[in-house]
Amino acid sequence: MILAKVKGNIVATQKDSHLVGHKLLLVQPVDLKGEFLPSSEIVAIDLTGAGTGETVLITQEGDAVQQILGHNKAPVNTIIVGIVDSVDVVG
Amino acid sequence: MILAKVKGNIVATQKDSHLVGHKLLLVQPVDLKGEFLPSSEIVAIDLTGAGTGETVLITQEGDAVQQILGHNKAPVNTIIVGIVDSVDVVG
Amino acid sequence: MILAKVKGNIVATQKDSHLVGHKLLLVQPVDLKGEFLPSSEIVAIDLTGAGTGETVLITQEGDAVQQILGHNKAPVNTIIVGIVDSVDVVG
Amino acid sequence: MILAKVKGNIVATQKDSHLVGHKLLLVQPVDLKGEFLPSSEIVAIDLTGAGTGETVLITQEGDAVQQILGHNKAPVNTIIVGIVDSVDVVG
Amino acid sequence: MILAKVKGNIVATQKDSHLVGHKLLLVQPVDLKGEFLPSSEIVAIDLTGAGTGETVLITQEGDAVQQILGHNKAPVNTIIVGIVDSVDVVG
């Protein structure tokens, strides 16, 4: 899992049926201070109710995501699985 | 999932039988403005009827793709799962 | 698997139910001398009781992790699977 | 899937039993003009009868490959699934 | 699969039970001449009896590895599957 921040939404009317009904958020990886890393944006399904500006945990595997969504046919490989309250770095 | 733009088609007569009958599109990752990122092109199976120049959502996992195609033996790991209407970035 | 060092903890109250009860550690890949590589931090579930400052082995696949956790629905793809005692480089 | 060009062969007498009987080819990713990208070489199992110098489609997932090979225990994650006849870029 | 050279061993007393009894080798990707690439070291389970200094084939998927090890719960995603005798590059 990596840290990312929600930047906005994606609208895609024409899409695979398994994506219908799920919120697609635009996220970008961030460092520990919440600064955006020089990475491309990623499109993720949100399972946590995350909103724009929030720091989230995203995972990018395929199988797990499909199973959470209640079926095993969703062509989804990025998902928001947690909203980060704090990051505690020791030392 | 990431954003990409369709650039053209791939013709491959001699291919694994599971790829027969599927349209193979050439796509390249893009940023939020639709500009191509300095990434290599990717070959993807299209499930959405996407055409050249359209911005699409692609996913790159293996298992999900195979299941959508109705069997579990397709050696495919990139698929177009949505055509992007708009990207809304907040702030 | 790669070598990483534990840097701290992640607190995420609002998270997918499968993550509840698991310790989320912040780790960063290191070289053989234990120096941090110029990589982003990664958030991992800990199965070994690793503490801050320890060098650990992390794996990043999806299926394996879910099975270890006793179910197959956890959206987790990074896990700490060993605490490194020593690295012996020959020659 | 990505585009790659076949550069040669790999000989490995001592190998996992699941690799026995399969041709191992050395491939390197190429751009649309067939020029090698600044990427490392990859070792792939060939399912298409591809020869040195040919441009091929390779996929790198694990599960699919195993299933094609008729069993589900092959530790193989790169496979040649098509020989590219032409790449048509529009615009 | 990629080419790598064995550099040494990893000792990890405290580890997930599925790793117990398996030799953990430190490997680093190499080019066709056997020179180390500017990549980080990787920790791999050895199935071939490879020794320090040998060039090996490694694979990094999850599922395949678990199945070879005779169970499907090993959190392992890197494995040595062949010892390279020779690399024949044409042209």
Q: Tell me whether residues C76 and A1 touch, CB distance under 8 A.
A: yes
Q: What is the distance in angstroms between the Cα of C55 and the nearest Cα belonging to chain A?
A: 14
D89 lies in a domain? no
E90 lies in a domain? no
C88 lies in a domain? no
The total number of structural domains in chain A stands at 1
B46 lies in a domain? yes
- Give the ipTM of the model, two decimals please: 0.77
Average of per-residue pLDDT across D33-47: 86
Q: What is the distance in angstroms between the Cα of E85 and the nearest Cα belonging to chain C?
A: 21
Q: Tell me whether residues E67 and D63 touch, CB distance under 8 A.
A: no
Chains in contact with D via at least 3 Cβ–Cβ pairs below 8 Å: B, E
What's the predicted TM-score (pTM) here?
Answer: 0.77
Average of per-residue pLDDT across D30-58: 89
Nearest beta carbon to residue B75 from set D29, D79, D88 = D79
Distance CA(A56)–CA(A27), nearest Å, equals 9
B90 lies in a domain? no
Q: Tell me whether residues B63 and D67 touch, CB distance under 8 A.
A: no
Is it the case that residue E68 has pLDDT exceeding 70? no
E91 lies in a domain? no
Distance CA(E46)–CA(E44), nearest Å, equals 6
Output the pLDDT for position D55: 96
Q: Can you give the CATH number for the domain in which B51 is found?
A: 2.40.50.220
Three-state secondary structure of chain B = CEEEEEEEEEECCEECHHHCCCCEEEEEEECCCCCECCCCCEEEEECCCCCCCCEEEEECCCHHHHHHCCCCCCCCCCEEEEECCEEEECC
Tokens coding D54: 């040919």
Q: Tell me whether residues B19 and D61 touch, CB distance under 8 A.
A: no
Q: What is the distance in angstroms between the Cα of B13 and the nearest Cα belonging to chain A?
A: 26
Query: For the segment D10-33, what is each residue's pLDDT rounded down to a tens digit?
Result: 999 888 777 788 889 999 989 898
List of residues 6+ apart from E89 with CB closer than 8 A:
D7, D8, D26, E32
Q: Which domain holds residue E73?
A: 2-83
Q: Tell me whether residues C16 and A64 touch, CB distance under 8 A.
A: no
C16: number of CA atoms within 13 Å, CB side? 24
For residue A84, what is the nearest residue in chain C, using CA coordinates? C12
Q: Tell me whether residues E79 and D77 touch, CB distance under 8 A.
A: no
E88 lies in a domain? no
B26-48 in b/e form (b: 16+ CB < 10 A) is: bbbbbebeeeeeeeebbbbbbbb
Tokens coding D46: 């060939």
Query: For the segment C40-90, what is each residue's pLDDT rounded down to a tens digit?
Result: 788 888 888 999 999 999 886 544 343 344 433 444 567 888 899 999 998
Tokens coding E21: 């009894």
Query: For the segment A13-29, what is each residue's pLDDT rounded down to a tens digit?
Result: 888 777 788 889 999 98
B89 lies in a domain? no
Distance CA(D19)–CA(D25), nearest Å, equals 12
Give the range among A78-87, D23-32, E58-67 with minimum mean pLDDT. E58-67
